[in-house]
Amino acid sequence: MNQHVYQRRSTHSSAIPTVIFALLVANGLLFAAQQLQFEFLLYNFALWPTGSPRPEFHVWQLLSYGFLHGNLNHIFFNMFGLWMFGRDLERMMGARRFLIYYLTCVIGAGIVQLFVAGIQGGIYPTIGASGGVFGILLAFAMAFPNRIIMLLFPPIPMKAKYFVLMYGLLELYLGLSGRAQGVANFAHLGGMFFGFMLIQYWRKSRRP
């Protein structure tokens, strides 16, 4: 999550909902632990391709990779996006459903990343909560499509539905062109895809 944005208005209080608070704390604590045990955490809890000999892929990495980050900017913008766009969603969905949604997006992004890494054939780790955050972005645009988002750089206001569409197309372009080296663009799109599929499942399960 790299774009600087803020919402022009919010009708809710600024208090941090329970799940988002817990996620912020967990990510912060693990980032602090990385400063002390970086190689141990990277080798065991980053997402490694399924064909890598050592470090090896383990199934828990599909979740644990989403709680590790490469540097201060990486964790700051991911947590900023989680806090900004997730607050209204958690209040709307409820804590349990929001957590299920977020973790589904993280795991889904990891699955897509494994598929892409298998095609590319590289042996490299993937870390970061971006897949979950991109899933949050999609759900926010679906729930509040006309909410105004203001980009900070450049300062252009736009509706959430157009902002997320633009962001998704940008990720697709960067992924296909390879112009964003070191960024898991298809994992971001995977988070959005799995989030969309879960929302559709929930909608259909409520129908008579």
DSSP for 26-59 reads HHHHHHHHHTTSHHHHHHHHSB--TT-SSSPP-T
pTM of this structure: 0.89
Domain extent at residue 115: 5-206
| Cα distance between residue 203 and residue 75, in whole Å | 32
pLDDT at site 202: 95
Token look-up 């409520």 returns 206
pLDDT digit string (tens) for the chain, length 208 residues? 544 444 444 444 458 899 999 999 999 999 999 999 999 999 999 999 988 888 899 999 999 999 999 999 999 999 999 999 999 999 999 999 999 999 999 999 999 999 998 888 778 899 999 999 999 999 999 999 999 988 776 788 999 999 999 999 999 999 988 888 888 999 999 999 999 999 999 999 876 5
CATH code (residue 167): 1.20.1540.10
| Cα distance between residue 92 and residue 164, in whole Å | 19
How many helical (H) and strand (E) elements, i.e. helices and strands, does the chain have? 8, 3
pLDDT at site 208: 58
Contact between 46 and 66 under an 8 Å Cβ cutoff? The reply is: no
How many domains are there within the chain?
A: 1
